[in-house]
């Protein structure tokens, strides 16, 4: 017992063991060496700009640590965005009403709603129009939306979709 006191400089009467003061003043954390871990050097510190607690592995900045309060705020913002999109979809559904339901869609047929045609004319641009143009096509029923056009030499072509 006297040897223990001489070695440690103090003695615990409760446990009969020497009291060894900690050298570091804190409990160290092992870096690397765990399961599926390398021995890379990890640095953790507060950003000089005050933007958060940063992590660097070797020489690669891995960004900031995300804390629960910040994550909850981001999740709340994301939920608000999702709600806004849902509200916008509901508003569109309200505007469209029952116009586009499986029960009232026409089957896809030649010149039917949704039918797409590709028109090529040599020397005739009368059925060619820029994207977004809506017209009645000669010899075809309904209204047609241009998906874009092009020309080369004397040939004009355009993609049309029947919308009404």
pLDDT value, residue 20? 65
pLDDT value, residue 49? 92
Enter the pTM of the model. 0.36
d(CA 26, CA 39): 22
d(CA 157, CA 59): 57
pLDDT value, residue 2? 46
pLDDT value, residue 58? 93
The ranges assigned to domains in the chain are: 116-162
Residues 6+ apart with CB under 8 A from 75: none
pLDDT tens digit at each of 164 positions of the chain? 444 444 545 555 566 666 666 677 777 777 888 899 888 899 999 999 998 999 999 999 999 999 888 888 889 889 988 989 888 888 777 666 655 555 555 556 667 777 777 777 787 778 888 888 898 888 888 888 888 888 888 888 888 888 88
pLDDT value, residue 13? 58
């Amino acid at each position: 017992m006297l040897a223990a006191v001489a070695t440690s400089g103090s003695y615990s009467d409760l446990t009969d063991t020497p009291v060894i003061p900690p050298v570091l003043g804190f409990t160290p954390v092992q870096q690397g060496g765990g399961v599926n871990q390398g021995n890379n050097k990890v640095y953790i510190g507060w950003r000089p700009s005050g933007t958060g607690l940063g992590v660097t592995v070797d020489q690669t900045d891995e960004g900031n640590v995300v804390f629960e309060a910040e994550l909850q705020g981001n999740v709340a913002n994301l939920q608000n965005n999702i709600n806004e999109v849902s509200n916008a979809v509901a508003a569109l559904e309200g505007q469209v009403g029952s116009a586009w339901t499986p029960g009232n869609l026409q089957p896809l047929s030649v010149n039917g709603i949704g039918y797409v045609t590709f028109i090529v004319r040599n020397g005739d641009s009368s059925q060619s129009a820029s994207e977004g143009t809506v017209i009645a096509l000669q010899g075809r029923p309904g209204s047609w939306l241009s998906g874009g056009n092009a020309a080369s030499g004397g040939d004009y072509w355009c993609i049309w979709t029947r919308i009404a």
